Amino acid sequence: MSSIDRRVLLGAGLTTVGASLFPTFAEARAMIGKPAPKFTLTTFDRRKVTSAELAGKVIVLNYWAVWCGPCKQELPEIDRYVRKKGGDDLKVFAVTVDDTVSDSQLKPLAGVLSFPLATRISGSGYGAIGGAIPTNYVIDRSGVLRYAKADAFSYQTFDSLITPLLAEKARARADRTNLSRSVSGQAMSDRRGKRSSTVPDAPCAR
């Protein structure tokens, strides 16, 4: 990354990390609107979580570091949203980019956040975009990457992105429910019609 790029990122309130294997800004933009790459997370409490397990959820992968000032401002904003409007349909993971951070450094934060910390993630296509943090990836219920950007969320910007994605399930569920009722109603009507057509003629009265 050039010194000019670094100054631009710092001026935008981002922190840079010294690595060259992260996705570039162009690569991240090209991923948006396409199926999100599969991944496996290792959480702070050593659980393995795969993207397959999270199918049908809205997923947020937040890249951060303990020494990142903008990250420390962003995490409470995301936490506030999750506590207020989240639920089982929203899965947020705060992925540390620092492999050297100790459990003792992470434990206080892990104890107060409403979503898990992740110490490791495997899967191509993810990472601090352009080497800048915070970086966020947002995957919708259909598994499509809807957001990939090196930028810090505020409560308002997180709300404006996530709330409509969460509402998509309500619409999809309503459509499926209406379809199911329609099919069930048609099947019941067909069964009634079939029964009425097979009822034997009543005997003639004498």
For 131-140, what is each residue's pLDDT tens digit?
Answer: 999 999 999 9
The burial of 185, by beta-carbon neighbours within 10 Å (0-12 exposed, 13-18 middle, 19 or more buried), is given as exposed
pLDDT of residue 20: 46
All structural domains of the chain: 3-166 (3.40.30.10)
Average predicted confidence (pLDDT) for the chain: 82
Rounded-to-integer distance, Cα 130 and Cα 133, Å = 9
* Predicted TM-score of the model (pTM): 0.75
Residues in the chain with pLDDT < 50?
1-13, 16, 18-20, 198-206
| One-letter identity of residue 76 | P
Q: Using an 8 Å Cβ cutoff, are 30 and 136 in contact?
A: no
pLDDT of res. 201: 44
